[in-house]
Structure 1
Amino acid sequence: MINHTGGDKLTKIYVLDTNVLLQDPYAIYAFEDNEIVIPAAVLEEIDSKKRNMDEIGRHARQVARLMDNLREKGKLHQKIQLDNGGSIRVELNHRSFQCLKDTFLELNNDNRIIAVALNLKKEEETKPHPRPVILVSKDALVRIKADALGLEAEDFLNDRVINFDAIYEGFQELYVSEESINQFYLDKTLQLKELTKGVFFPNQFVVLKSVTNQSSAISIVDKKGKQLEPCLFGQDTVWGIKARNVQQIMSLELLLREDIELVTLVGKAGTGKTLLALAAGLLQTEDLKIYKKLMIARPILPVGKDIGYLPGEKEEKLRPWLQPIYDNLEFLFNTKISGEIDKILAGISSIQVEAITYIRGRSIPEQFMIIDEAQNLTKHEVKTILTRVGEGTKIVLMGDPQQVDHPYLDEYNNGLTYVVEKMKDQTFSGHVKLSKGERSRLAQIAADIL
């Protein structure tokens, strides 16, 4: 897998799969001075998606507009020069399925796209100086089938915010002298330049550990990234919930501080993200009256039929997807009877459980807003949500980037990872990656090894 922003200047032919363009309509400009080939089957697939009222449909319409604008420069089937030095053309003459008929029998769009790339490769091999032909697809099975046919295939990596496991964790350990830890407890501050030459971000946590004994201290970097300050709220009991580990202490610190308007929490199932966020939201909305409303939302990504097929009104349709939130609310309100949480929420107008679908177009001021399962949001969707945030609102994005259900997203290009990386140097944001499960011993082991 190669990131196409760099590399050698050897002219190559890149055949793009539909999912590349539906993930990033501007992908045609990401291949430098090489030739881009769009199979006719790709245009047909994009055409079938253009009426969708979701992110895929929006990208399909954007691709159509970009391609239509390129027509002003010439005929698309004859090759059109791009401003970045490369070229693009729609392939109409290499659709023969003969090269695949004995291997992959079904004439579907995936195989048609592979056939185009394979026929181009065979044509190039007849030339004195053949150019490499590379199929680019977000679909792992398409890449596997291409490889089985001797065709070079790559994932499209330009949309990735980070590579591999380099996601920002929001904290780090720092081994210091016993005197430095004592000084921190005494003065309530410590200059980072006296401890290390490393670079730190605002609101990043630093766990100070003694090099000589077991003493330690949890600190947070100030807004300027220059000194360490003590945590103020992380060890408080919040709606009957108390942090059980260091990362939960950090999480509560971010959730309870009014000067931090954007909080991102990343972690496996059972690490306490949702419960901590709900407890902090209830405290600041119901008890302290800092915010007028607590809004909890999550994206609707059904496995099977869409929400419209379910019977009932909106609330009844949403309940199966929002049930994990209700489970946590039942725990916090200590309900014993089935359906009791619905009566409680009906009597508290300041708590709203919603689906992301119904947030678009709204302005959301003075609210404590929790977005669960944010790893299933695209960059555009998470931008849409954050630009809805009004004055005095605190927003919490949380999820597990390793549990992505969206067909065109992965651990490295989803909306949650995007926000974590892009906002880590902002003075109003904070982030923690939780790793220790606290749901139960079984849940922790299952999350780690299954």
Structure 2
Amino acid sequence: MNKIYVLDTNVLLQDPLAIFAFEENEVVIPAIVLEEVDSKKRYMDEIGRNARQVAKIMDQFREKGRLHEKVPLDNGGQLRVELNHRSFEKMKDMFDEKSNDNRIIAVALNLLLEENMKQDSKPVILVSKDALMRVKADAIGIQAEDFLSDRVITSDHIYSGYLESYVSVEVLNKFYKDQKILVKDINCQHVYPNQFVILKDELGSSASAIGRIDTECKVVIPLIREPDHVWGIKSRNVQQRMALELLLRDDFPLVTLVGKAGTGKTLLSLAAGLLLTEDLHKYKKLLVARPVVPVGKDLGYLPGEKEEKLRPWMQPIYDNLDYLFNTKKPGELDQILAGMGSIQVEALTYIRGRSIPEQFIIIDEAQNLTKHEVKTILTRVGEGSKIVLMGDPQQIDHPYLDEYNNGLTYVVEKFKAEKISGHVKLEKGERSGLAQLAADLL
């Protein structure tokens, strides 16, 4: 049975191509949605870009017919802009305020009541990224759904970058002796290039080993020898050891790190970047950037020049640099960075249009990036550069992103089968006992 999907504004602003995601069903866009999209088209961010793309798509549909009637879609569905079902009469006793959200719900309700009068009625479904919008719709009897087609993954299990395998002592001994074993020896159904393997004794002894699946997915090989320290930092758990393996190798130009607050993502990345840039001179610069997703987005409200405006947003980076450089006095870190000249801390606002060759690039808080933004960043990476994307998909400040559709998760899932990338999910907090307890309990 065909259905009628009424789209909320946030669905289109999150994914302008959402119109085409409903197969052979009818897609209804209330007129108030077009007004809300129109009010966003002058924004100079991702939402503004999406609003302009929605406008172009709708304008192209005018060539196929009158939008307030029905325009055919290539997937067999139909699209129309709803003008006639705006009456607030049926809702005035439930929701007194005529807000834009309530007007969209009113369109869905009036369409539902009209369909219920027909012999061959169609289900009417309101699609919204706004949880409270779905709750309000459900409260008055309208079926409501989240828009899930933009999700990179459909389950709660994001790729971790490693697996555990219980093997015989003979296999463990062979791994230590020959410095490799075949992938078929670890008894795993499906593996990915550069995925880590924690080998454990199947009989329960303490014998264990850590290996990495090669790029051809044929053998498991040992990790490189860990340095005595990386700018004073040593790995404290097995996932941090895996992360350092990826960060210090030249053959992985893309590394993604996921983990809760305090798991060491930023500190390990900065330490590895400083070692490879300052000590080993494998890269000309260390570039550290993070998206500016505050409460209130404009940097212009902060006083001073660009560096002064950026300082509050970049402070978490400077905190880690303070620790690595072991600074004691106020202003000492700024003097060190000015003297070195090879460390650059930037906001992602300024990355569009750049080409970045021979640099070690760290993108912090990447979970607040959209798919389009993360594509823009990765296409800036020049020859001889290495880029590290990290963040916590469960701590997202962007209004239209969640754990399953953000840019960081998108890159992890899209690149997990590629030979040039590596990924680790850090599990254990190492900042402090209090920080770990807070991350777990709160």
TM-score normalised by the chain length of structure 1: 0.97
Partner of residue 99, structure 2: 108
Instruction: Give the CA deviation at 1:305.
Output: 5.5
Match of 1:314 among 306, 313, 317: 306
In structure 2, the gaps of 5 or more residues are: none
Work out whether residues 180 and 221 of structure 2, in 8 Å CA contact, stay in contact via their aligned partners in 1: yes
- Measure, in 1, the Cα distance between the counterparts of 2:161 and 2:24: 38
Work out whether residues 151 and 404 of structure 2, in 8 Å CA contact, stay in contact via their aligned partners in 1: yes
Partner of residue 4, structure 1: none
Instruction: Give the CA deviation at 1:201.
Output: 0.9
Instruction: Give the CA deviation at 1:380.
Output: 0.5
- Measure, in 2, the Cα distance between the counterparts of 1:114 and 1:136: 10
- Measure, in 2, the Cα distance between the counterparts of 1:344 and 1:183: 49
Instruction: State yes or no: 1:50 paired with 2:41.
Output: yes
Partner of residue 76, structure 1: 67
| Other structure's SS at 1:193 match | helix
- Measure, in 1, the Cα distance between the counterparts of 2:287 and 2:136: 45
Q: Which amino acid aligns with 2:191?
A: F
Q: Which deviates further from its counterpart, 269-278 or 21-30?
A: 21-30
Work out whether residues 3 and 26 of structure 2, in 8 Å CA contact, stay in contact via their aligned partners in 1: yes
Q: Which amino acid aligns with 2:174?
A: Q
Match of 2:179 among 181, 188, 197: 188
Aligned ranges 1:198-347 → 2 under 5 Å: 198-212=189-203, 213-234=205-226, 236-304=228-296, 306-347=298-339
Work out whether residues 171 and 185 of structure 2, in 8 Å CA contact, stay in contact via their aligned partners in 1: no
Partner of residue 17, structure 1: 8
Q: Deviations over 1:145-191 (max 9, x none)?
A: 10111110000000000023221100011000111111111111111
- Measure, in 2, the Cα distance between the counterparts of 1:268 and 1:89: 44
Q: Which amino acid aligns with 1:252?
A: L
Q: Which amino acid aligns with 1:77?
A: H
Aligned ranges 1:161-200 → 2 under 5 Å: 161-200=152-191
Work out whether residues 235 and 243 of structure 1, in 8 Å CA contact, stay in contact via their aligned partners in 2: no
Instruction: Give the CA deviation at 1:359.
Output: 0.8
Q: Which deviates further from its counterpart, 205-214 or 245-254?
A: 205-214
Divergent runs of 4+, >2 A: 233-236
Work out whether residues 40 and 51 of structure 2, in 8 Å CA contact, stay in contact via their aligned partners in 1: yes
- Measure, in 1, the Cα distance between the counterparts of 2:404 and 2:393: 8
Partner of residue 112, structure 2: 121
CA RMSD of aligned residues (A): 0.9
Q: Which deviates further from its counterpart, 194-203 or 214-223?
A: 194-203
Q: Which amino acid aligns with 1:417?
A: T
Work out whether residues 290 and 348 of structure 2, in 8 Å CA contact, stay in contact via their aligned partners in 1: yes
In structure 1, the gaps of 5 or more residues are: 1-9
Aligned ranges 1:29-48 → 2 under 5 Å: 29-48=20-39
Work out whether residues 233 and 256 of structure 1, in 8 Å CA contact, stay in contact via their aligned partners in 2: no
Q: Which amino acid aligns with 1:90?
A: V
- Measure, in 2, the Cα distance between the counterparts of 1:235 and 1:281: 14
Q: Which amino acid aligns with 1:286?
A: E
Instruction: Give the CA deviation at 1:265.
Output: 0.2
- Measure, in 2, the Cα distance between the counterparts of 1:376 and 1:18: 20
Instruction: Give the CA deviation at 1:395.
Output: 0.2
TM-score normalised by the chain length of structure 2: 0.98
| Other structure's SS at 1:77 match | coil
Work out whether residues 294 and 397 of structure 2, in 8 Å CA contact, stay in contact via their aligned partners in 1: no
Work out whether residues 267 and 273 of structure 1, in 8 Å CA contact, stay in contact via their aligned partners in 2: yes
| Other structure's SS at 1:45 match | helix
Q: Which amino acid aligns with 1:408?
A: Y
Q: Which amino acid aligns with 1:44?
A: E
Instruction: Give the CA deviation at 1:195.
Output: 3.0
Instruction: State yes or no: 1:159 paired with 2:150.
Output: yes
Instruction: Give the CA deviation at 1:306.
Output: 2.5
Q: Deviations over 1:395-450 (max 9, x none)?
A: 00000000011011000000000000000011110000001000011100100111
Partner of residue 7, structure 1: none
| Other structure's SS at 1:194 match | helix
Q: Which deviates further from its counterpart, 306-315 or 406-415?
A: 306-315
Q: Deviations over 1:2-21 (max 9, x none)?
A: xxxxxxxx111100000111
Q: Deviations over 1:220-248 (max 9, x none)?
A: 11110110111004464100000000000
Q: Which amino acid aligns with 1:26?
A: L
Q: Which amino acid aligns with 1:67?
A: M
Partner of residue 432, structure 1: 424
| Other structure's SS at 1:409 match | coil
Partner of residue 3, structure 1: none
Partner of residue 407, structure 1: 399
Q: 1:102 to 1:235 in 2, by over 3 A?
A: farther
- Measure, in 2, the Cα distance between the counterparts of 1:153 and 1:236: 56
| Other structure's SS at 2:68 match | helix
Instruction: State yes or no: 1:386 paired with 2:381.
Output: no
Instruction: State yes or no: 1:148 paired with 2:139.
Output: yes
- Measure, in 2, the Cα distance between the counterparts of 1:442 and 1:235: 29
- Measure, in 1, the Cα distance between the counterparts of 2:441 and 2:155: 19
Q: Which amino acid aligns with 2:305?
A: E
Work out whether residues 11 and 34 of structure 1, in 8 Å CA contact, stay in contact via their aligned partners in 2: yes
- Measure, in 2, the Cα distance between the counterparts of 1:112 and 1:120: 12
Q: Deviations over 1:94-139 (max 9, x none)?
A: 1111122122122111111011001111111111121110000000
Q: Which deviates further from its counterpart, 227-236 or 66-75?
A: 227-236
Match of 1:362 among 351, 354, 360: 354
Q: Which amino acid aligns with 1:312?
A: G
Q: Which amino acid aligns with 2:437?
A: I
